[in-house]
Each structure stands twice: as structure tokens, then as C-alpha cells.
Structure 1
Amino acid sequence: MQLHWWNYEIGNHVEVAGILQDLKKAGKIRYVGVTNYNTARLAELIDAGVDVVSNQVQYSATDRRPQNGLAQYCRTHDVKLLCYGTIAGGLFSDKWRGIPDPGSPDFENVSLDKYYRIIEDFGGWGLYQELLEAMKTIADRHGVTIPAVASRWVLDQEAVAAVIQGARHARHIQANVELTQLRLTDEDHALIASVHARSAGPLGDAYDLDREENRDALEDVSTEYFDVENGRLVKRRRDAVIVAEPYGHHLLTG
């Protein structure tokens, strides 16, 4: 059972987590996990005696906020990180290589909008493109795809147990299979680190910025959105009311 708590000023998340702990002791649930907890809030649960086994957080090569204390704390207290956003909603792909900056977070879906904002925090579209080229070099070296490299990089990080991948189409399956077989070398990691050395952020602990700026409230589906067609940035139009395509998610471990 995973606990997510959007506003810590409302209610008592420690008390609720304690109820889950009681249910665990009674055999009603097997494990207690949390979602988007930063280090301080997770510590409140651990200090209260809640046996938290996992924390689901956003983690990618452009969003390394778990490295700002959370991963180290999780390692010490045997809490595993389950990571989403590892391929930035599809922005870590050949499709977006060499594409000019759209200039605003107006994409096909709210996930892409969210990860575009992270790219701005990371250091901008230009640095993101350099990261894509580094990942392309690594992908070609191993005969795999950019999404496989992006997710493998996250799996190699401290305290990470699994990544959460969306597979909406059959074409996504191959990248997921590649991921389970891929092993990055020290040279591969050094190449990615050379881009990270010029990154500006995002700063802070896991999900803090999202809460502070209430970014989920900014995720709105526009009638016009940016896409890529035949290697060129284009703007498409759609009706105001859209039924989102269902996502299929599964865990991929190292």
C-alpha cells in the first residue's frame, strides 16, 4: 500500500501511516510504501516506527533531486526508490534529437509539459540536447535505444530498486527488453556526468519544487500543442475535450 500526501498542512500523514503500519501488523497488507516524499517527511515516518519499504519519486538524468540527500537516507534506512519519469515522458528519444526549443510547455500530454519544465530547471533546451547526444553515443555503442540508456542510468543510481515505465504501444516493448540487458560502463557514466557538470538544477529535495510552485495545477491540455513530424517541430490542433490514451505501467528492475 502506497501513501501519497499532497499538502502536509492538512491532516496528519504520520498518523495515517501509523494506521497502515497497524494494518501491516494485522496481516491486512504486506508492505507500506510512500509516493513523492522528501527526506524530512520520510524521516518523520521512519522515526515514528513505520516500516516504509519504498518511496516512489521522479528521477531522471535531467531530474537528479533524489541525489540531494534522499537517496543516501534511503540507503541507510533500507528504503528502496521506485522511479518514474526516467524517460521524461518520451523526451529522451531519437524523436526529439536536434529539434529546436518549442519555447513553452505545450505538448501532446501533461507528462511532456511537466518534463519540459524540468528541462528548463536542468539548464535549458540546449543542454538537454547535449544530453540527448551523449545518450545517443552510448546507445549506438551498445546497440540499444536512448530510452534504454536513460532508464539504465537511473537504475544504476544509489538506492534505486526499479523504474516505472509506461508502455502504451507495442513499439515501446523493445526498449524495455533492452533495458534489462544493458549495462553501462564507467566511460558511459563519465560521458553523462560531463553534461551534468554544467547543469543548473533542478534544486531542492524530491518533489519540493513541484509542491512549492503547485506545478500539477499548471498541467492543462491545450488545443494547440507541439509535436515532431518528419524531423521537424510542428504545431498541431485538437478539440478542447480529449480522452487521454490509457497508460500501461510496469516495474523494471536491475
Structure 2
Amino acid sequence: MEYRQLGASGLKVPALSFGAGTFGGRGPLFGAWGDTDVAGARRLIDICLEAGVNMFDTADVYSGGASEEVLGEAVKGRRDKLILSTKTGLPTGEGPFDAGTSRSRLITATDAALKRLGTDYIDLLQLHAFDAHTPVEEVLATLDTLVQAGKVRYVGVSNFSGWQIMKSLGVADRHGLPRYVANQAYYSLIGRDYEWELMPLGFDQGVGAVVWSPLGWGRLTGKVRRGQPLPDVSRLHETAEFGPPVDDELLFRVIDALDGIAEETGKTIPQIAINWLLRRPTVSSVIIGARNEEQLRQNLGAVGWSLTPEQVAKLDAASATTAAYPYWPYRRQAGFARLNPPAV
């Protein structure tokens, strides 16, 4: 397994990390993702550690906290061998203190996550969404308190816009508070919006991408085909409304390109899609998920080999879309590109 620096931090993370969203299986959304119990989680974690995947990501909203509980129980006795990453900030209830990243909520939510995970520290705590009701200064000062207390070691964000990250980094630099070193972001061959603003920001500011849903919410498994119904077993049946929107023509154009490369390489469509991501600038780690051992072993096959430049170019062309303003001039007009060379 290849290990990379997480942004500009000193923390080394594996190129592939494991997402525990399939652990627990509570509720309509996460129940559709998977219902792995403690025994099943131990087996998947064994396989991950054998392959060098030592970073495990979860969140307090996954199955109402059950994901953290299952993960914590499954890593007992080997906590020092792995990196635990979790997220907080999204609503976990209907009460006024059940959402956001105020000082009170962050401290309470972190203590609750520590208890569920059965540990006394979190390696990487990420804010699951921007809280417009809480001053950035309050958020960062609270994170500093948690770091100083030894409860959290590194901090990051997830689903933030570029200006929200940049404002936070400016406040952190001005007041000597912890900088975000990770941005857990959606990025895939059928969802390249990350490249428009977040990738240049990460490149410039030393914020590493921890990629979620690298297979486009299950669309790049090889089971979704032009003119064919969805497979019987697919999260798209029940959860498509929660996932990123994808134009059908873009999807099938990318699938056609992946099919051709699969024939050339003997690799599967998911392996190729993940391998493409691993070569992108600012990507520190790609989160893979699995309901079972077979899926996990297939996804682990995304490392240890490389696409050729010609194959990368083919995937780039098939997945290209027109960026939103003001980003498209920098891609299409020579004068803009001369002033602002891309990070890629």
C-alpha cells in the first residue's frame, strides 16, 4: 500500500481508506448501504490491515451512531495500529442542540463519538457540513480546545465550499488556530466538480482530498448499463435521491470508455475508476466501501498498477464537462490559462 501525506500535515495516510458507512445498518438510507455487524466488521478490518489499509472513516450520523459503535468494537485490541476518522455537524436529532458546530455541540458530539468508538482520541475529526449560524472563530477555537485536550489530533472538513474553507484557513492563520488539513469531498469520473475550485485551493493551501463515493454512488460498479434496468441489488433503487445527480449520457459515455480500458488491462470497472482518482492532484486517500469480502478485495485491486497516459487521456475526455462560470474561461481561453495555470 502506498502512503501519502494528508495535505500539508505530518500525518501519513494510505492511498485507500475504508468507509464504515455500511456498519450498523439503521435507518432507510444507511440500512440500504449495508448492515455489517461486529463480527463482519472484524473480518473486513482484518483484510484491510493485511493489505495496508489502516485508516477507517465513519460519522456520527451513520446509522444513528451505530457505525461508530460497530467500528469501535471491531478495532478493540488494535487501536494503536490504525487511524480513526469521524465526522460531526449534521443533524442527529430534532432538538436545538442536535446540529451544527457550536462550541457546546462540538464538545458534546466529540465526547459522544469517543465513547461510541471506545477510544480516548480521534486521529482526524472532520466537520460534516458548514454551520452558517456559528462564527468561524468559535468553531476553530473549540477545535483548538479539543486538540489541546488530546481528544483530537488533526482536523478537516467535508462538503464545504471553497470560500468556506478559505475563510476558515484565514482565521486559523490569523489567530494561530488549527488548520484544516483534509477535505472529504465527492469526486469521481462522473462528478469532477471538485476540480473547478476545491482542487486548486487544496493545491495552494495544503489541504488533502479524502475522496468519498469514488464510484459515483454505485453507478461505476459495471452493473449500470445503457438501456438496461438497474440491477436487483443496487443502492440506487432506494437512495438515488440522496446521491449526486448524474447526466445519463455522461454516465454511459464514461462506462463505454471504462469498458474499453477493462479489455486492455484485465481490470474491473471499479478498479479503473479508483485508479484514475489516485493519480489526480491533491488526492491523499480514496475511501472505499464494501458490504462483503468480495467487494472489498475487488476494490483493493485498484492499487499496485497504473493506467497508461493514453488511458488516462481517454478517461479525461469521456468524463469532461463544461465548468460553471467563472471557471470555464480558465479552461477554454488561452489568455486566462496563461495567467492562471491549472494545478493539474
User: Common fold, TM-score beyond 0.5?
Assistant: yes
Given the superposition, is the C-alpha separation of residues 113 and 137 from structure 1 closer, same or farther in structure 2, using an over 3 Å criterion? farther
1:155-193 C-alpha deviation (Å, 9 max, x unpaired): 211111111111012221232221122311111111112
- Equivalent residue for 1:183? 306
After superposition, the C-alpha distances for 1:131-160 in whole angstroms (9 at most, x for unaligned) are 101012112222111111111112211111
- Larger RCO (CA within 8 A; separation ≥ 6): 1
Letter matched to residue 170 of structure 1? E
> Counterpart amino acid of 2:295?
H
Would the aligned equivalents of 1:97 and 1:133 in 2 still touch at CA under 8 Å?
no
Asked whether the equivalents of residues 68 and 204 of structure 1 are also in contact (C-alpha less than 8 Å), the reply is: no
- Residue 89 of structure 1 deviates from its aligned partner by 2.4
Kindly tell me: are residues 200 and 2 of structure 1, through their superposed partners in 2, closer, same or farther at Cα, counting changes over 3 Å? same
Specify whether residues 133 and 183 from structure 1 end up closer, same or farther in structure 2 by C-alpha distance, changes over 3 A only: same
Instruction: Indicate the structure (1 or 2) with the bigger Cα radius of gyration.
Output: 2
Q: Which residue of 2 aligns with 1:160?
A: 283
Q: Distance in 2 between the 1:109 and 1:204 partners?
A: 33
Counterpart Cα distance in 1 of 2:229 and 2:317: 22
Q: Does 1:5 align with 2:129?
A: yes
Q: Deviations over 1:53-77 (max 9, x none)?
A: 1011111111111111211111222
| 1:53 aligned residue | 181
Cα distance in structure 1, aligned partners of 2:229 and 2:160? 31
SS at match of 1:182: coil
Judged with a 3 Å threshold, the aligned counterparts in structure 2 of structure 1 residues 74 and 23 are, in CA distance, closer, same or farther, namely same
1:69 to 197, 206, 209: 197
TM, length-normalised to structure 1: 0.68
Check the 8 A contact 2:210/2:283 in 1, yes or no.
Answer: yes
| 1:1-254 pair list within 5 angstroms | 1-8=125-132, 10-49=133-172, 50-100=178-228, 107-110=236-239, 112-115=240-243, 118-119=245-246, 124-197=247-320, 199-200=321-322, 203=324
C-alpha contact (below 8 Å) 2:130/2:160 kept by paired residues: no
- Please say if residues 154 and 181 of structure 2, whose CA atoms lie closer than 8 Å, have aligned partners that are also in contact: yes
CA RMSD after TM alignment: 2.4
Q: Could you say what secondary structure the match of 2:152 adopts? A: coil
In structure 2, distance between residues paired with 1:150 and 1:107: 18
Distance 1:204 1:85 in 2: 25
The 1-side partners of 2:153 and 2:162 are apart by: 23
Q: SS of the residue aligned with 2:226?
A: coil
Q: Structure 1: give runs of 5+ residues left out of the alignment.
A: 206-254
Question: Paired residues, what number?
Answer: 193
| Counterpart secondary structure, 1:171 | helix
- State the Cα distance separating 1:86 from its structure 2 match: 0.8
1:57-116 alpha-carbon deviations (Å, 9 max, x no partner): 1111111111112111112221111011110222102211233588xxx94231x3444x
Report the Cα distance in structure 2 between the residues aligned to 1:11 and 1:29, rounded to whole angstroms.
Answer: 20
1:67, 1:148 → 2: CA distance? 21
Under a length normalisation based on structure 2, what TM-score does the superposition of the two structures give? 0.51
Distance (whole Å) between structure 2 residues aligned to residue 193 and residue 58 of structure 1 = 17
Please say if residues 32 and 51 of structure 1, whose CA atoms lie closer than 8 Å, have aligned partners that are also in contact.
yes
Gapped runs of 5+ residues in structure 2?
1-124, 173-177, 327-344
Displacement after TM superposition at 1:13 (Å): 4.0
SS at match of 1:108: helix
CA distance in 1, matches of 2:226, 2:259: 12
* CA drift at 1:126: 2.2
